[in-house]
Structure 1
Amino acid sequence: MATVFLSIIYITFISLGLPDSLLGVGWPEMYRDLAVPQSYAGLVSMTISFGTITSSFFSGKLIRKFGTGKLTAVSVLGTATALLGFYLAPAFGWVLVAAVPLGLGAGAVDAALNEYVAENYQAHHMNWLHSFWGIGALTSPLIMSQVLSQDRSWRVGYLVVAVIQFILAIVLLMTLPMWRGKEQKKTAEQQERALTLSFLIKMKKVRLALYAFFLYIGVEATMGLWSSSYLINVKGIDSSKAAIAVSGFFGFIMFGRLISGFVSMLLTNRQLIRIGQILIVSGALLLILAKSYPLLLLGICLIGFGCAPIYPAMLHETPERFGQAIAQQIMGIQMAIAYTGSVVLPPLFGFLAPKLGMEVLPIFLIGYGSVMYVASELLNKKLDAEGQLNER
């Protein structure tokens, strides 16, 4: 039963990744069908992101009230309904309406499952969990492209993924007794202790952790959005090879998390985070120096491989860093800040690139990676000092 239960968690994370890539693949057909400008994809993406940020912020309170299992099941049901809304949407306005529950559900599932695995499972499961998200993110474009290749509407792609989500929601609802049996019994103090955001932000170690989350997602999202433009416009690589390189970046994140799951049995989360940050900076330096496509590809894959362990390891460290009493609350805030980084930092680079030149992309990545490294090391130092005081 323990294996079945863990399998359900992994499958849920695959389903979390499924909707994330649908919009990008389907939009070239969607905007024509909906008779809106191509740029309106940004409105849909922003609506989903703001919903995700909102539910992440409040996930701690929701978990305490409803429990992880019930919140996950209802949220997956919400995302399934939202995807069905995309399928049925008669006009663009209804797509925006459907985007709201899609974002809210995704944020709640993400925060709830990450907090649950961080408290109840070892580090390798956290790495593998995020690797399974990559499977979902890579599968949905294949579903949509298969639908479109058969000259069928983009709506069918959304319907297929919606059906998958509905099936998973039913499975989760049927297995709620397993969740109730597995969820940790919180003490009265842990159940009642809910600190205000302003109080938490005043804690230096919380701020340092949030800096690291914000900048990590900044690296991943900025690379995903702008690395192809960098290769084409700065290094003179043709678009097909640039696309392969970007796929390599995301592929190495997924592959790296699979490998990190095994490596985490030998190394600590701190060591994995440190190695990942060093690889990001090294890969960015290689992008500056490289003259050939193979070296550029190596640099991009190094950045992806460096990204792989950082996010899962930082999430898994949350109960250790802040204590289980407020781990749920901190987890949601960390993830909300991470999503904020994905919304803010890529457009920021896009705004500055015309003024500074696209060639500054690796310099931004080095800056993000270096500040992230400093924030992480300062956090480790503070935690060690607190540990020494507690021992006395």
Structure 2
Amino acid sequence: MRGEAVDNSNDFTFQFITKIVAAGFSFFFAGTNDGCLGSLTPYILRTYGVGTQHIALIYASTFCGWVLAAATNSHLGRYLDLGAILLIGAVLQLTSHLLRFWTPPFGLYVITFLIQAAGMAYQDSHSNTFVASIKGAHRWLGFIHAMYALGCLVSPFVATAIASKVGDRWPLFYLFLVGIGVVNIAAVLVAFRDRLKLKAGTESIEDTMSRSKNASKDFVETLKSPPVYLLSLFYFFMLGVGITAGGWVVEYLVTVRDGKLPDVGYVPAGLWGGIFLGRVLLAEPTHRFGERKMTMVYCILILAFQLVFWLVPNLVGSAVAICFLGFFFGPMFATGMSIGSKLFDKRIQPTALGFVFVLAQAGGSLFPALTGIIASKAGVKAMQPILVVLIAAMGFAWVLVPKVPRRDE
């Protein structure tokens, strides 16, 4: 994705708007998938008769999907144009939801998360890189990542409403995601119809080998770049915080705070609602007052509200604290992507940002999985000290991220 038709233009043409909207909708779709797991976890445990340690398999499967995408991303980018890659990602995500709604065996249900994650990795990492290449990218990145949070906000409401009504038939919720997946494919077909093609028609064997060699070279160069690892470390802990909190908060409130499942099933919506508002309202102040300084302030505030969530044993207080935690958590993802787009060379930017996404998902898979394994022995209350350590590590990792040599705009 080194040259987009609208990369360096601020003209609000119909083509420009449809591409931004389609990119935003792909993140909304991803959010509806990620946002529902916390609300559905208690139902998964009870329907399939598994323990919290088995939920770790879902996060491991998700991580494997991101690894698969990372290993193939640079090669796909050499042969397929942007629209074609986005379409592959959209189709894979729809396929995963089609395999879920009829209450499949637990093993197949777990595998669908690998398929879904690979599709999300293809579509969202390339959508992100496309948007990052546009002038004034911090605003558009704020928009598409706010759309992800909006999806995460909507999803728990729908999931809890359906699951509380149909009981063991809760997988019917995934029909909702099937519908969104169809719209997602339609959006790609319309917005990126000019990019639904191979990058080359007829080429020699030498050209094919050269493309493969260049793809491998980009990947190796990415692996040799220290900023890639340092920014990835921040995302590793950051997604660990967000997904661990969102994934286990309902089970925590049910088992530790004695909440009623139909009521506390909506609490993740408070977290994601806070993230959505944070991404909408804090994007511009973060950019204006300094991304590095403001992000560190957010880390401190997140830690403060996490301590309130842990130490104040009140359901209402917990819900309010988790909402404010999400609010200050909100702008950090887009801020990191904005900095990454300036730190990485344009030639390796798609591969580098894809690599960051994968290591981020490693944290988003590893720490919720570890929480489940530890919870099977020590109880879900172990989530709280785990979150405190992760937030502290996130702040430390941010200090290590290199400064951008010069500030655009």
Q: Scaled by the length of structure 2, what TM-score is found?
A: 0.75
Asked if structure 1 preserves the Cα contact closer than 8 Å seen for 2:39 and 2:247, the reply is no
Structure 2 unpaired stretches of 5+: 1-13, 200-209
Higher relative contact order (CA 8 A, sep 6+): 2
Distance 1:246-1:149 versus aligned 2 partners, 3 A rule: closer
Question: CA–CA distance in 2 between the matches of 1:11 and 1:137?
Answer: 12
Q: For residues 44 and 297 of structure 1, do their structure 2 counterparts lie closer, same or farther at Cα, with a shift above 3 Å needed? A: closer
Post-superposition shift, 1:204?
Answer: 3.1
| Cα deviation code 1:8-39 (max 9, x no counterpart) | 22222222223334556567777888xx4344
Verify: 1:62 aligned to 2:84, yes or no: no
CA distance in 1, matches of 2:395, 2:38: 31
Contact 2:247 2:368 in 1 (8 A): yes
Partner residue in 1 for 2:282: 260
Distance 2:101 2:72 in 1: 28
Residue in structure 2 matched with residue 249 of structure 1 by the alignment: 271
- Structure having the larger proportion of residues in helix: 1
**Residue 138 (structure 1) aligns with:** 153
- Tell me how far apart the structure 2 counterparts of residues 350 and 30 of structure 1 sit (CA, whole Å): 13
Question: Which residue is equivalent to 1:77?
Answer: 91
Does the Cα contact within 8 Å between 1:209 and 1:334 map onto a contact in 2?
yes
The answer for the alignment partner of 2:19 in structure 1 is 5
RMSD: 3.9
Shift of 1:128: 2.0
- Which residue, out of 226, 231, 237, partners 1:215? 237
Instruction: Mark the CA change 1:143 to 1:320 in structure 2 (over 3 Å): closer, same or farther.
Output: same
Equivalent residues of 2:259, 2:315 under 8 A apart: no
Distance 1:50 1:291 in 2: 37
> Contact 2:232 / 2:356 at 8 angstroms: preserved in 1?
yes
Residue number in structure 2 paired with 1:390: none
Q: Which shifted more, 241-250 or 78-87?
A: 241-250
C-alpha change, 1:288 and 1:14, in structure 2 (3 Å) is closer
State the distance in 2 between where 1:94 and 1:353 align.
24
Number of matched residues?
A: 376
CA distance in 1, matches of 2:306, 2:137: 31
User: Is 336-345 or 297-306 further displaced after alignment?
Assistant: 297-306
Q: Where does residue 102 of structure 1 map in the other structure?
A: 116
Provide the residue aligned with 1:164 in structure 2.
180
Q: 1:124 aligns with which of 129, 133, 139?
A: 139
**Letter paired with 1:37:** G
Overall identity of the aligned pairs, in %? 21
Q: Which of 49, 54, 58 is the equivalent residue of 1:37? A: 49
Write the distance in 2 (CA, Å) between the matches of 1:65 and 1:341: 30
Structure 1: which 5+ residue stretches go unaligned?
A: 388-392
Choose the corresponding residue for 1:329, options 314, 329, 351.
351
Q: How far apart, CA to CA, are the structure 2 residues paired with 1:22 and 1:243?
A: 10
Structure 2 counterpart of 1:320, which letter?
K
**Cα distance per residue 1:307-351 (max 9 Å; x no partner):** 111111111221201221211111111111111112211333455
How far apart are residue 230 of structure 1 and its match?
Answer: 6.0
Q: Relative to 1, partners in 2 of residues 1:101 and 1:263: Cα closer, same or farther, differing over 3 Å?
A: same
Kept in 1: contact 2:90–2:123 (CA 8 A): yes
The residue identity in structure 1 corresponding to 2:152 is A
Distance 1:26 1:361 in 2: 17
Give the whole-Å Cα distance in 1 for the aligned partners of 2:115 and 2:370: 27
